[in-house]
Chain A
Amino acid sequence: MLGKSQKAAHLAEEITDYTAVQGRSLWQDARMRFVRNKAAMASVFILLLIVLFTIIGPYFAVWSNEEIDWNVMGDVRGMGMPSMETGHYFGVDDLGRDLYSRVIQATTTSLLVGLIGAATALIVGTCYGITAGYFGGRTDGAMMRFVDILLAIPTTLIIILLLVVAGRSFFTLFIALGAVGWLTMSRIVRGQTLALKNREFIEAARAAGVSEFTIMYRHILPNLLGVVIVYASLLVPEMILTESFISFLGLGISEPYTSLGRLIAEGAGTMGYGTLWQLMFPLTFYVAIIITMFFIGDGLRDALDPKDR
């Protein structure tokens, strides 16, 4: 009797185990696809190492990024070489400042520029795009015509113009980058919103008396998230590229702060004097960041938007 009931319980357990198949949400699915993508996972790993380096690195620095080492200044080519003894792990720059600290500072700047610029673009572009797409009609026409006009202007030149007019600082740089980055984002979001707003579940929400704002926030936004995340992740390296380009020209962040573009420019200026490390260290970090970011963006696209391959 006892054995039989045990067997029945076991059997019942087994049946329920097999019948209740664990459902997978869209996000779990996407995560699995992303984790299986070797290039993307390797990129995440490398990028994490770089971020870790910018956090832990300063504790090992012997020199600050502003300090000039007067001892090596006269002989940058010989004594300013990368070495463990002098504490200049990456050597010194042309003025005798420690390149290790400067590279850390520049990498932080570039990463921040990418993240904050993309975040600004993401928030502004999403709000703008949802509003235009959801209300439609004349509002949509006017709002999108405005975007079209702004899109027709070479963005880098506009950023330079803004930086010159409003003065060069971190704040202006973020604003200027965000000011041009949201345009394409708003277009994408608007297109998606247009497709979504006539679907049945939106109609159901409206019939149930949900307010317009709540519909946008609770029902449309979550469905946009995949596309928005993919585009934002591709926007990050683009922001870093643009900022480096402007810094390379000497129009970006001003001293003592620096960015990878500026360091590459300085290294490129002195590469004829046998101080190649001044170019190679920032260049390596820069290329590593950009390539990993693109692979992560590609991986996210494959994971979240599998039809677009």
Chain B
Amino acid sequence: MLAYVIRRVLTAIPTILLLIVACFFLMHYAPGGPFTSERTLPPQVLANIEARYGLDQPLWKQLWDYLYNIVVHFDFGPSFKFKDRDVNDIIAQGFPISLTYGSLSFLVATVVGIGLGIAAAIRHNSWIDYFAVGLGIAAQALPNFIMGPILILTFTLWLGWLPGGGWNGGQWPYLIMPVIALATSYMGSIARITRSSMLEVLNSNFIRTARAKGLPTRTVIWRHAMKPTLLPVVSYLGPVFVYVLTGSVFVDIYFSTGGLGQAYVGSALSRDYAVLLGVTILYGVLTVLVNLLTDLAYAWFDPKIRY
């Protein structure tokens, strides 16, 4: 187990480094530098600006500095568009917001999804089962960017219950719609996975044995069926995290929360490569770490897996 952990961590490091290097080269070979504009700058001015951002150095030196600053100082350098801000400021401002509703919707989707899936499997072919299956299908056709408009249409424009956007320090009326919009889609997926997994477990031999020796249903489900049921769900949590990350880009834009997604799309539209790269790398590193954690959790959860 320990050897597996070490091996897994060791493969995560080159992945992250490769990600940074690949992104760096993408940025470097992108047509049109960040300072290209309709008005061509005098060469001296351009040279000064490039020196300010270190763009006059040889390529390997630039790459080394970029890597070194990220790894040692966790510093993504200055923004090309906003003269007085660097990428770290932008991340520090937006990331906590995205993190708040992101983790909330992660929690809601996982808890409600698993609960619904288990309820559906226990009461197989009842109304709650059909509801869970229906939600699982609907969830695939109602991703966050469809749920957002539908929610605003219902709760803001028709009923007038909730504010249509903004953040306001994260008060709960401002949180509800982003969380629901983000959570619904993969809540359905989690419910579906849990349901089919639970059904399979409930039909297996060891559950029949547990029932046969007279255990109450509650004990059978909590003590025996739970752990194997949750195995596929645990392995699905990595992809779910990625959905939350990319979905948060939409939520930030659509609900104007001021989160990191707004900075991301803004930088993509204005070709502010420093911010674009910084956020991509941050999200990439987070994804690698979460995948690492789910792999380890999976290994810990499943006694059959030996590495």
Using Cβ atoms and an 8 Å threshold, which residues of chain A touch B280? 157-158, 161
Which residues from B are CB-within-8-Å of A8?
none
Q: Is B145 in contact with A261, judged by CB distance below 8 angstroms? A: yes
Contacting pair A153 B284 (CB below 8 A): yes
**Distance in Å from the Cβ of B65 to the closest Cβ of chain A?**
21
Number of interface residues of B (CB under 8 A): 44
* Chain B window 265-302, contacts with chain A (Cβ cutoff 8 Å), 1 for yes, 0 for no: 10011010000100110011001100100000000000
Give the distance in Å from the alpha carbon of A267 to the alpha carbon of B145 in the complex.
Answer: 12
Q: A152-B287, A154-B283, A294-B140 are in contact. Are A249 and B265 (CB under 8 A)?
A: yes
A256 within 8 A of B: no
Contact A149 B249 (CB under 8 A): no
Does B15 belong to the interface (CB within 8 Å)? yes
Interface locus among A74-82, A97-105, A205-213, A240-248: A240-248
Q: Which residues of A contact B283 (CB under 8 A)?
A: 154, 157
Q: Does B163 count as interface, using CB distance less than 8 angstroms?
A: no
Contacting residues, chain B, for A160 (C-beta < 8 A): 264, 268
Determine the residue in chain A with the shortest Cβ distance to B15.
Answer: A149
Contact check, B276 vs A161: say whether CB atoms are below 8 A apart. yes
Q: Give CA–CA (A160, B283) in the complex, Å.
A: 13
B271 — which chain A residues lie within 8 A by C-beta? 164
For B277, the closest partner residue in chain A by CB is A161
Instruction: Say whether, besides A245-B145, A251-B268, A251-B269, A154 and B242 are in contact (CB < 8 Å).
Output: yes
Residues on the B chain within 8 Å of A152, using CB: 12, 15, 19, 284, 287-288, 291
| Set A251, A261, A287: member contacting B265, Cβ < 8 A | A251
- Which residues of the other chain, B, contact A265 by a CB distance below 8 angstroms? 145
Interface of A is mostly: helix
Give bound CA distance, A254 to B146, whole Å. Answer: 21
Inter-chain CA distance A249–B145, complex, in Å, is 9
Which residue of B has the minimal Cβ distance to A145?
Answer: B11
Per the bound structure, the CA–CA distance linking A261 and B149 in Å amounts to: 12
- When distances are taken between beta carbons in the complex, the residues of chain B under 8 Å from A162 are 26
Q: Which of B3-37 contact A (CB under 8 A)?
A: 11-12, 14-15, 18-19, 23, 26-27, 29-31
- Interfacial residues of chain A within 42-81, with CB under 8 A of chain B in the complex: none
Q: Does any Cβ of B come within 8 Å of A250's Cβ?
A: yes
The answer to the question of B157 belonging to the interface, with a C-beta cut-off of 8 Å to chain A, is yes
Q: Are A165 and B140 in contact (CB under 8 A)?
A: no
Whether A165 pairs with B250 at a CB distance below 8 angstroms is no
Q: How far is the CA of A268 from the CA of B254 in the complex (A)?
A: 9
Across chains A and B, the number of contacting residue pairs, with CB separation under 8 Å, is 106
Q: Cβ of A290 < 8 Å from any Cβ of B?
A: yes
Are the C-beta atoms of A267 and B31 separated by less than 8 Å? Answer: no
Chain A residues whose CB sits within 8 angstroms of the CB of B140 once the complex forms: 237, 290-291, 294
B186 to chain A minimum Cβ distance, whole angstroms, is 13
Are A249 and B249 in contact, CB atoms less than 8 angstroms apart?
yes
Contacts A154-B242, A164-B268; A279 near B149 (Cβ below 8 A): yes
Q: Which residues of A contact B1 (CB under 8 A)?
A: none
Cβ of B141 under 8 Å from chain A: yes
The yes or no answer to B253 lying at the interface (CB within 8 A) is yes
Q: Say whether B55 faces chain A, with CB atoms less than 8 Å apart.
A: no
CB-nearest residue of chain A to B28: A165
Residues of A within 8 A of B125 (CB): none
Cβ A161 vs Cβ B26 within 8 A: yes
With beta carbons under 8 angstroms apart, the residue of B14, B19, B149 that contacts A264 is: B149
Of all chain B residues, the one with the shortest Cβ separation from A160 is B268
- Bound Cα distance A250, B23 (Å): 22
Q: Mark A117-146, 1 if CB is under 8 A from B, else 0.
A: 000000000000000000000000000010
Within 8 Å of chain B (Cβ to Cβ): is A95?
Answer: no
CB distance from A245 to the nearest CB of B (A): 6
Q: Which residues on the B side are within 8 Å of A241 (C-beta)?
A: 143
CB neighbours (8 Å) of A249 from chain B are: 249-250, 253, 265
Q: Once the chains bind, are A283 and B146 in contact (CB under 8 Å)?
A: yes
A-B contact pairs, 9 of them (CB 8 A): A153-B284, A154-B242, A154-B283, A157-B279, A164-B268, A167-B31, A248-B145, A268-B254, A283-B149
**9 tightest A-B contacts by CB?**
A268-B149, A156-B246, A165-B30, A290-B141, A248-B145, A149-B15, A291-B141, A152-B288, A164-B268
